[in-house]
Chains A and B, each alone.
Chain A
Amino acid sequence: DTEVTQTPKHLVMGMTNKKSLKCEQHMGHRAMYWYKQKAKKPPELMFVYSYEKLSINESVPSRFSPECPNSSLLNLHLHALQPEDSALYLCASSQWGGRSEQYFGPGTRLTVT
């Protein structure tokens, strides 16, 4: 099974709201990723977690706050977003180390009003 699940599928939030995106995998992967994807563009890396520790933060604004509560779960907490943050947010996971492929979830379509 190579499934990564994400909830919710769609999210509409105002600029003053606080919301969270959730991601889960049960493949035993120890690396998990958050990506942002705008229309007709490739995924853009935001954060990398390895063994539940933050490894890479690609200079993402602090209104995005990642959290990795355990090896299967990854959250992205959202606060005071801007309309330009509207995008498809993708979670992925992979084995750590070596040359291993990343498996992506279906994404959360976020609209900021």
Chain B
Amino acid sequence: EDQVTQSPEALRLQEGESSSLNCSYTVSGLRGLFWYRQDPGKGPEFLFTLYSAGEEKEKERLKATLTKKESFLHITAPKPEDSATYLCAVQAIIQGAQKLVFGQGTRLTINP
């Protein structure tokens, strides 16, 4: 069964303090690993898709990397507006349909 585990559950950083969020997964044939950002009471916002080990993608202060067992979301010199819940998901094919298997998320707080 496909599984996704994110750590830590919650992370508090000072503005400018860089860190990384972890997403470990077990999946029978990775078809894509996705990172989303979600603000309270809003829908998840798509950030990145990673398909194969060694792949990296960047967007502003965020950089996502992928190995055969885990993905990291690196945040460099974060600002308070980066505070959100970050969700990791892998894609499974069930009954011929695409399904996202989500981790529990990491709640990130950046203090000014």
Q: How many residues of B contact A (CB 8 A)?
A: 27
Contact A102 B41 (CB under 8 A): no
A16 interface contact, C-beta 8 A: no
Which residues from A are CB-within-8-Å of B99? 45, 48, 56
- Chain A's closest residue to B95 (CB) is A56
A24 to B32, CA, bound (A): 25
Q: How many residues of A contact B (CB 8 A)?
A: 29
Q: Contacts A41-B104, A42-B104, A42-B105 known; A100 to B98 CB distance under 8 Å? A: yes
Contact B46 A101 (CB under 8 A): yes
Contact A107 B41 (CB under 8 A): yes
Task: Give the total number of A-B pairs whose CB atoms are below 8 A apart.
Answer: 66
Fill in one digit per residue for B8-52: 1 if any A CB lies within 8 Å of its CB, else 0. Answer: 000000000000000000000001101010000111111001010
10 residue pairs of the A-B complex, CB under 8 angstroms, read A6-B43, A48-B99, A55-B95, A99-B32, A99-B91, A100-B32, A102-B98, A103-B46, A104-B45, A107-B42
Which residues on B are within 8 Å of A, measured CB to CB? 31-32, 34, 36, 41-46, 49, 51, 87, 89, 91, 94-100, 102-105, 107
